[in-house]
Amino acid sequence: MKKISIAIDGPAAAGKSTIAKMVAKNLNYTYIDTGAMYRCVAYYALKNKIAFEDEERISQELKNIEIQMCPDGTIHLNKEDVTSLIRENEVSMGASFVSRYSAVREFLVNKQREMAQGGGVILDGRDIGTVVLKDAELKIYQIASIECRALRRHKENIERGIESDLEAIQQEIAKRDEQDMNREISPLKKADDAIEIDTSDMTLNEVVAHVMNLVLERVQ
């Protein structure tokens, strides 16, 4: 069975990465966490004592950064396993900074395209189908109502023992949507050839089954 490239785009908290990981596991594909790649650049800056605001220096250092996404889900930066290190708060903050820099975006988009060559990959984000993998054989635009997305995140927080305010989360998600759809570089939008899936009233397993059917249609 031939292996294809799958792009999943959509707004914040739509459950894209959860679905992408589950489908990747079912298909034995590599899940490429594009957000983690921006975190790797931020972690490199932090480790080398480069200020996140120093766009010029960070841009110059990109040639010294080698990121590897392994099929077992681990992430390596210059041969160091940074899977858990890049999830720290300071790194998250830094990732938000470095993702604005055009040199960083260009560098990582090229890396993502290299990783996707030959198929057998799933990428999720805001601009995968429109910018990163314009030729992906399957493009999905995954949405859900703001209320539904906020409730999911609220439940997740409670399960993790994190203090949570449903109304605040709802406002945060609405603000994030506004930012993502109106940013200058690679705004969030549905690719013309993407299939929209509204997951508001679907269970995780129902979404996975739907995506698996779409994959089978394309590989057969």
pLDDT at 218: 93
Per-residue pLDDT at 71 exceeds 80:
no
Q: Quickly state the pLDDT bin for 97 (edges 50, 70, 90).
A: confident
pLDDT digits (tens, 9 = 90+) for 11-23: 988 999 899 999 9
Q: What is the mean pLDDT of residues 39-60?
A: 97
Residue 62 pLDDT more than 90?
yes
Q: Is the pLDDT of residue 87 over 90?
A: no
The Cα 173–Cα 99 span in angstroms is 19
Q: Which whole number is the average pLDDT over 23-42?
A: 92
Query: What number is the average pLDDT over the span 163-187?
Result: 86
pLDDT at 38: 92
Entry pTM: 0.83
The pLDDT of residue 90 is 86
Span 119-139, average pLDDT: 94
Average pLDDT over residues 29-43: 92
Quote the pLDDT of residue 187: 83
pLDDT at residue 220, rounded to an integer? 84
The per-residue DSSP string of the chain comes to ----EEEEE-STTS-HHHHHHHHHHHHTPEEEEHHHHHHHHHHHHHHTT--TT-HHHHHHHGGG--EEE-TTS-EEETTEE-TTGGGSHHHHHHHHHHTT-HHHHHHHHHHHHHHHTTS-EEEEESSIIIIITTT-SEEEEEE--HHHHHHHHHHHHHHTT----HHHHHHHHHHHHHHHHH-SSS-----TTPEEEE-TT--HHHHHHHHHHHHHHHH-
Q: At residue 200, does pLDDT exceed 90?
A: yes
Q: Using the predicted structure, report yes or no on whether residue 179 has a pLDDT greater than 90.
A: no
Q: In this model, does residue 170 exceed pLDDT 90? A: yes
Please report the pLDDT score of residue 99 as a whole number: 86
pLDDT at 49 over 90: yes
User: What are residue 187's phi and psi, to 5 degrees?
Assistant: -65, 160
pLDDT confidence bin for 52, thresholds 50/70/90:
very high
- Using pLDDT thresholds of 50, 70 and 90, give the confidence band for residue 96: confident
What is the model's pLDDT at position 157?
A: 84
Please choose, from the candidates 7, 4, 10, 19, the residue with its C-alpha nearest in 3D space to the C-alpha of residue 206: 19
Both structure tokens of 37: 């790649």
Angle of CA points 29, 35, 36, to nearest 5° = 75
